[in-house]
Amino acid sequence: MRLHFLASLLLTSLASLHAAEAEKPNIVVFYIDDMGWAQPGAYGGKLAATPHMDSIAAQGVRFTNGYSSGCVCSPGRVGMMTGRYQARTGHDANVGRPGRELLLTETTMAQHLKPAGYTTGIVGKWHLGDTAPEFMPTSRGFDFAMGTVGNLGEGKAPAFYHGNELQEELKGAPITSPVYAREACGFIDSNKAKPFFLYLSLNAVHTPIVASPAWLEKYKHLDKREQEYAALVSEADEAIGTVMAKLRELALEENTLIFCISDNGGASALSDKGGLRGGKWFVWEGGIRVTWMVQWKGRIPAGRVLDEPVIQLDVLPTALAAANAPASTVELDGVNLMPLLEGKSEKLDSRPLFFRFGVQHAVRLGDWKLVKATQEMEPMLVNLSTDPSESKDLTSENPAKKAELQTLWEKWDASMQPPRWEDQRWNGAEQRRPKKGKGKGKKAAR
């Protein structure tokens, strides 16, 4: 009798465990490198076909005021992975040398989700430190990990990793989008029976501007520069489509929370920024406003376009809420977007969003933005609802509003850690090029 009771109890417990796992959605983050805010067709982009990104917008929510807290690669990834401003650890610039890694005191999204029962995988660009095994993805909560340690073609060290092992070569590189799509699908196949978190971090559309022959052929009617860039964008979109097709094949799409975001604003002259000022390397809108879409079929109503400002810091708390995971034991700077995404609330509570890149900084509150995009520049007050291109300084008409935002900035900045290292590119493009007759100058951090 007692054995029968214990067996029944065990079966009930297992059933409850399986039910709890079934309630947890898979979580997929598509993170695109250096893509302009308006590049996808859903945002008005016309250079390259992006049907798979557009489908995520059509089946979910597209944000017109989506942001990254970093205007270059590594800082934005710190925010994505931790849900915390990268300035909390002085990580204002890119990695590449000892002492510039994501600090071991920080907790990654993978480390948050594993205790909640998730198998975790990263495929693609890491860019958070590779100087020692403890800084590599499988030491930071990822069960499966492969890709590039940083940007392709930069630095002299091995460019690729599998697990915690650095490797000199990756078959197919420098064209990595199709490689990553296959690896991501393999990860999904291997973990389809339990909740998983997949972070697909594409090298595209960062340099090098390379693409497969079939995609170059598709755009042969364009001039060479446009042909190569359009092919690069579309091949990245195809990789997203390949993963989405795998989710549908396994009947997992309805139980998967999907984010599609760019890590910062557009870098290439061909990137479509939709008329925004500046680009990568600047805290102008063109450097920090990014493609930002979310899909969860059956939970998030389809086809909505929201103007509410959101930031990549919101991904982690949203994922934790969707996963019914324990509350974070560390202070997060993002917020849970699920009530907004599901239509249970129309707006978020008012909050300032902060951006710092060394000597540059900005703060947005509602439609107002205070921006200082070079060391010499006097902070400029703009209203983004009437002036998204940031062309008119409204300081003289609104001195109290400028003072309010300046006070917000100073209080926030004082609570952060100063930049841990210097990047000579902080003050704009002119600082990235050595002056004639001056030699190569001081080398910037990669």
- The stretch 134-162 carries a mean pLDDT of 93
Q: Where are the alpha helices (DSSP H) in 64-220?
A: 73-82, 109-113, 177-190, 213-218
CATH code at 375? 3.30.1120.10
Whole-number pLDDT of residue 429: 54
Say yes or no to pLDDT of 322 above 90.
yes
Is residue 431, in this structure, part of any structural domain at all?
no
Same-domain check for residues 334 and 364: no
pLDDT of 382 over the 60 cut: yes
pLDDT for residue 442 is more than 80:
no
C-alpha distances out from residue 303 to 49, 60, 405, Å: 19, 6, 34
State whether 395 and 303 are in the same domain. Answer: no
Residue 250: inside a domain, yes or no? yes
199-206 average pLDDT score? 98
User: What pLDDT score does 425 carry?
Assistant: 87
End-to-end CA distance of the chain: 68
Q: What is the mean pLDDT of residues 314-331?
A: 95
Annotated catalytic, 73? Answer: yes
Closest-CA residue to 135 (of 94, 101, 167, 161): 101
Report if residue 109 sits inside a domain.
yes
Alpha helices for 289-380 (secondary structure H): 315-322, 338-341
Tell me, what CATH number does 265's domain have?
Answer: 3.40.720.10
| Shared domain check, 401 and 332 | no
Q: Is residue 70 pLDDT above 70, yes or no? A: yes
Could you tell me the residue range of the domain that residue 384 belongs to? 359-415
Kindly state whether residue 389 falls inside one of the protein's structural domains.
Answer: yes
- How far apart CA 33 and CA 264 sit, in angstroms, is 7
What local confidence, expressed as pLDDT, does residue 28 receive? 99
Q: Looking at the domain assignment, is residue 438 inside a domain?
A: no
Last residue of a domain, one of 341, 373, 391: 341
Regarding whether 299 and 388 lie in a shared domain, the answer is no
pLDDT band at 14 (very low <50, low <70, confident <90, very high): very low
Kindly give, in sequence order, each residue whose CB lies less than 8 Å from that of residue 29, ignoring residues fewer than 6 positions away.
80, 197, 198, 199, 200, 201, 258, 259, 261, 315
- Residue 217 scores a pLDDT above 60: yes
What lies within 8 Å, CB to CB, of 204 at 6+ separation is 32, 33, 176, 177, 232, 233, 235, 236, 239
Handedness of CA 106, 112, 118, 124 (dihedral sign): negative
Whole-angstrom distance, CA of residue 380 vs CA of residue 94: 26
CA proximity to 314, closest of 389, 241, 259: 259
DSSP string, 237-299: HHHHHHHHHHHHHTT-GGGEEEEEEESSS--STTS--TT-S--TTSSSHHHHB--EEEE-TTT
Q: What's the CA gap between 48 and 175, in Å, rounded?
A: 17
**Together in a domain, 148 and 33:** yes
| Residue 164, domain member (yes or no) | yes
Is the peptide bond between 315 and the residue preceding it cis, with omega within 30 degrees of 0? no
Considering the domain architecture, whether residues 379 and 251 belong to the same structural domain is answered as no
Domain shared by 98 and 44, yes or no? yes
Residue 253 shares a structural domain with residue 393: no
Number of domains in the chain: 2
Residues 257 and 317 in one domain: yes
From the candidates 52, 91, 112, 127, give the one annotated as an active-site residue. Answer: 127
Cα separation, 64 vs 70, whole angstroms: 18
Share of the chain above pLDDT 70, in %: 91
Q: Which DSSP string corresponds to 118-157? A: -EEEEEE---S--SSGGGSGGGTT-SEEEEESSSTT-SSS
Active-site entry in 71, 73, 185, 260: 73
If asked whether residues 206 and 63 sit together in one domain, one would say: yes
φ, ψ for residue 160, nearest 5 deg? -120, 165
pLDDT of residue 53: 98
Residues 368 and 251 in one domain: no
Mean pLDDT over the full length of the chain: 92
Q: Measure the CA angle with vertex 161, ends 167 and 121; round to 5°.
A: 155
Query: pTM for this one?
Result: 0.92
Residue 172 lies in a domain: yes
CB-side neighbour CA atoms (13 Å) of 136: 22
Q: Is the pLDDT of residue 18 over 90?
A: no
Q: Are residue 122 and residue 219 in the same domain, yes or no? A: yes
Distances (CA, A) of 243 to 54, 265, 382, 398: 15, 24, 40, 49
Q: Is 16 part of a structural domain of the chain?
A: no
User: How much is the pLDDT for 23?
Assistant: 83
Q: What is the mean pLDDT of residues 176-194?
A: 98
**What pLDDT does 17 receive?**
43
E strand or H helix that includes residue 370: strand 368-372
Look at residue 123 and tell me whether its pLDDT is greater than 70.
Answer: yes
